[in-house]
Structure formats: structure tokens, C-alpha cells
């Protein structure tokens, strides 16, 4: 690994941007007498930069015992009633790599005593094809696992010609987003340990160019839900609403973002504002967008985090791709841990990485943005 180098003086020497309203602080803080006062874990003149601190070299998933034979591509983590952290990760079956994801992606359940892992594999929750899981607790206490795919049976056969987390000579197939063109498939349970029940929820206004792909929810006190998702075009990230997690789901307006993004992670802060993290196709970095009402969105010009990750041993790694952002929060509602999918070396071996977020006062995020 290369040694880290620092460009902090150059960054800190830049001129400070004045603000007049909280929106100019990306709703990640407040505008006070012309300056942004950032909430934890946000940094920068306009509070657009995540305070990411150095992380361990080992990924959160897969754990060391199966790392050499297993590829995963992002995971969603929640703290269960058993006081353990539960990850629902996309994993490629049959020791295959990411290139097989259209046929081999499954959703697995893994558990750790800590949010940084490593997470130990427990079971397959949804067989192929199932991808990009996001787990969240609905207002009625039900755990809802959103994902794309229909699970078993799948019209595409799994790739078998794989080893050591790398894909062999298998034909690539497109994912099967839903069981039908008018439904979205999800799982639900009363406990993160299951048992899980499948539901094919109705979409009231399905679109030829848009189904519910890569969904991420926020639940409201009355039981209704707002999701962000994307369609066949990566630019078509839009809102989706439903009166409850059981549906029916209605496609809403497209977000007015000026870059090509996917993999939305949606959340609401303690002030009631809406936020989303994405990855962008232009540089595979993570970007932040914000909204007061969940329907009308704005975004920061610069990435909230990029593909460079500082390690606790003083080194850093610049990954080719970094996608699938998910957050875990402190009890006070502030973001505490960032989970992303990363590429590992040559070929299509990938893993799920976790990075602790700081309090918004460290220098790590500035140096992170500076690394090339």
C-alpha cells in the first residue's frame, strides 16, 4: 500500500464561503452570522464533507474465515433487539465474483457484536437473484428488507465456473428487478433473526423505463413510507411513496440532480430534513443531496467522500470503485458508520467496507479529499 501524503495546508488556506440560509450549508448544519456551523459528522465551509476517520485494513464482510472464497457488494446494517449488529449483504453464490451479479447475487445475513465487524455469515435470506438489500424498521415494529430481484425461482441459471471470489467464463445476464413488471419484492420479519416472509407489493403506476430498483426507505409516524430508487437509466433516481410498507407503491417525481448517480441511501435527520448518499458514475465517489420535504432536492458540487480510504496503519488505498453507501446512526440520530462496496485488486473480487465517522472536528476528511 502507498503511504499517505497530506495537502491539508492548501485546503485550509482556501477562502471561506459565506452563507445566508441553512440550505447553503447543505442542511448538514445551520447558517449562523454568515458561517456554516456543521452538525456531526460533517465538515467544510458548506458542511458537504463527511468526517471519515482512518479504518482497519480488513473489510467488514466477508470475514477472514471465508474471505478468499467469497465476494460481497455492499451491505445494510441495523442494531437488533439482541444488541447485536445485523448486516444484510449482497453476496455472489458459488465463490463467484461481481461480474456474475446478474445471476448469482443472493442476500445473506451476517452478525457482529460491533458495528465494525467482522460480520459472521448466518444464513441466506433471499436466493438468487436478489441484490442491493436495505433493511429498516417500520413504524409498526416490523423489519422490512427491501431489495431488487425476485429470489427463487429465477429465470437465469447461476454461474458455476468460479473460484476464489472470481468469475470464470460465464455469460453475463441482466438482473431481474422484480417478480413482475407491476410489483416490487420485499421480505419482512418481526426480528432481524427472522423468520422472513416474502411479499410482492403492488406498484400502482409502473413504468416501462422504471421499476423500483435500489430502493431505500424512510418511515413516518403514521406508517407511510417514502423511498428513493432508480430506474433503467442511472439518472432516473426518483421518489416512491406508499401508505404502508405493504404498499401499494406509487412512483413520484425524478430528482433534479445534475450528475449521473445510483444506489441512493435515504435518511432523515433530527431536524426533519431529508438526506441521501449516492455514488456517481463520473468518479465512483460518494455524493450528498438534501431536501426539506423529501420531494424537491438539491446537492453539493463536490463529493462527500471519494475512493481513497486512509488506514489506521498510516497507509491509504485508492480503490477503483466505491459504491452502495449505507449509514448506521448513533442513538442521538447522528451518522456514525459508513458502509460501502469496494473493489479488491485485479479481477472482480469485491468486499463490503466499514468506516467510522468522526465528530466533524478531525482533519481526516480534508486529507481524504486531498488524496489522489
- Give residue-wise pLDDT tens across range 23-52: 999 999 999 999 999 999 999 999 999 999
Residue 314 neighbours by CB distance under 10 Å: 10
Does 364 have pLDDT greater than 50?
Answer: no
pLDDT confidence of residue 18: 86
What was the pLDDT predicted at 367? 44
> DSSP secondary structure string, 285-326?
-EEEEEESSSSSEEE-SS-SB-SEEEBTTSEEEE-S-EEEEE
Is the bond into 117 cis (omega within 30 degrees of 0)?
no
Q: Which of these ranges, 69-73, 148-152, 162-166, has the smallest mean pLDDT?
A: 148-152
Half-sphere exposure at residue 350, Cβ-oriented, CA atoms within 13 angstroms:
28
In the three-class reduction of DSSP (H, G, I as helix; E, B as strand; rest coil), residue 22 is classed as: helix
pLDDT at 236 over 80: no
Q: What is the mean pLDDT of residues 193-221?
A: 90
**Among residues of the chain, what percentage have pLDDT more than 90?**
70
Q: What is the pLDDT of residues 256-287, one digit of tens each?
A: 787 788 899 999 999 999 999 999 888 889 99
CA-nearest of 298, 302, 310, 230 to 265 is 230
Across 56-91, b (16+ Cβ under 10 Å) vs e yields: beebbbbbeebbeebbbbbbbbbeeeeeebbbbbbb
- Look at 241-250, 297-306, 355-364 and tell me which has the smallest mean pLDDT: 355-364
Peptide bond into 248 cis (omega under 30): yes
Coil, strand or helix at 358:
coil
The pLDDT mean for the chain works out to 88
Order of all β-strands in the sheet with 2-3:
2-3, 315-318, 308-310
Name the residue with higher pLDDT: 312 or 136.
Answer: 136
Among the ranges given (155-159, 161-165, 223-227), the one the predictor scored with the smallest mean pLDDT: 155-159
pLDDT of residue 168: 85
The kind and range of the H/E element at 342 are: strand 335-343
| DSSP SS3 for 225 | strand
Domains of the chain: 2-370 (2.120.10.10)
pLDDT digits (tens, 9 = 90+) for 110-132: 999 999 999 999 999 999 999 99
Q: Is 333 left (phi over 0), alpha (psi -120 to 50) or beta?
A: left
Amino acid at each position: 500500500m502507498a503511504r499517505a501524503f497530506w495537502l491539508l495546508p492548501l485546503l485550509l488556506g482556501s477562502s471561506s464561503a459565506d452563507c445566508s440560509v441553512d440550505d447553503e450549508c447543505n442542511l448538514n448544519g445551520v447558517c449562523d452570522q454568515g458561517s456554516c456551523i456543521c452538525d456531526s459528522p460533517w465538515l467544510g465551509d458548506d458542511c458537504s464533507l463527511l468526517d471519515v476517520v482512518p479504518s482497519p485494513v480488513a473489510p467488514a464482510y466477508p470475514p477472514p474465515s471465508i474471505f478468499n472464497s467469497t465476494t460481497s457488494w455492499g451491505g445494510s446494517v441495523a442494531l437488533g433487539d439482541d444488541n447485536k449488529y445485523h448486516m444484510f449483504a449482497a453476496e455472489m453464490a458459488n465463490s463467484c465474483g461481481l461480474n456474475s451479479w446478474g445471476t448469482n447475487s443472493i442476500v445473506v445475513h451476517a452478525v457482529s457484536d460491533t458495528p465494525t465487524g467482522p460480520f459472521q455469515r448466518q444464513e441466506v435470506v433471499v436466493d438468487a437473484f436478489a441484490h442491493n438489500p436495505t433493511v429498516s424498521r417500520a413504524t409498526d415494529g416490523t423489519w422490512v428488507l427491501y431489495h431488487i430481484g425476485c429470489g427463487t425461482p429465477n429465470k437465469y441459471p447461476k454461474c458455476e465456473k468460479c473460484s476464489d471470489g472470481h468469475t470464470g467464463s460465464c455469460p453475463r445476464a441482466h438482473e431481474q428487478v422484480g417478480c413482475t413488471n407491476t410489483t416490487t419484492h420485499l421480505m419482512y420479519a418481526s426480528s432481524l433473526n427472522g423468520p422472513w416472509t416474502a411479499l410482492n407489493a403492488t406498484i400502482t403506476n409502473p413504468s416501462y423505463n422504471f421499476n423500483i430498483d435500489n430502493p431505500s426507505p424512510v418511515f413516518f409516524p403514521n406508517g407511510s413510507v417514502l423511498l428513493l430508487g432508480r430506474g433503467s437509466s442511472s439518472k432516473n433516481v426518483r421518489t416512491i411513496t406508499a401508505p404502508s410498507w405493504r404498499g401499494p407503491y406509487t412512483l413520484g417525481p425524478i430528482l433534479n440532480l445534475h450528475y449521473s448517480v445510483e444506489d441512493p441511501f435515504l435518511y432523515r435527520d433530527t431536524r426533519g430534513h431529508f438526506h441521501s448518499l449516492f455514488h456517481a458514475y463520473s468518479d465512483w465517489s460518494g455524493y450528498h443531496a438534501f431536501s426539506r420535504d423529501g420531494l424537491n432536492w438539491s446537492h453539493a458540487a463536490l463529493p462527500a467522500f471519494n475512493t481513497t480510504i486512509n488506514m489506521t496503519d498510516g497507509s491509504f488505498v485508492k480503490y477503483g470503485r466505491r459504491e452502495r453507501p449505507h449509514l448506521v446512526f448513533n442513538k442521538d440520530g447522528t451518522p456514525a458508520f459508513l458502509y460501502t462496496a469496494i473493489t479488491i485488486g485485479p479481477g472482480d473480487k469485491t468486499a463490503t467496507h466499514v468506516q467510522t465517522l468522526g465528530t466533524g472536528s478531525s482533519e481526516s476528511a480534508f486529507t481524504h479529499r486531498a488524496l489522489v
